[in-house]
Copies of this chain bind each other. A is one copy, B any other.
Amino acid sequence: MIKLLTVDTKIRVRYKETDRMGIVHHSNYYVWFEAGRTEYMREQGLSYREMEERGLMLPITETHCKHLQGALYDDVVVVRTSMSGFSGARIIMNYDVIKEDDQSLLA
Chain A interface residues toward B at CB < 8 A: 12, 14-16, 18-23, 25-28, 30-31, 34-35, 38, 47-49, 52, 57, 59-68, 70, 72-74
**A47 CB to closest chain B CB, in angstroms?**
7
Chain B residue nearest to A72 in the complex (CB): B49
Given A15-B38, A38-B15, A26 and B60 contact (CB-CB distance below 8 Å): yes
Per assembly, the copies of the chain total 4
> Bound state CA distance, A42 and B30, in angstroms?
27
Whether A19 touches B15, Cβ cut-off 8 Å, given contacts A63-B67, A67-B60, A74-B47, is: yes
Q: How far is the CB of A16 from chain B (nearest CB, A)?
A: 5
Please state if A74 and B62 are interface contacts (CB–CB under 8 Å). Answer: no
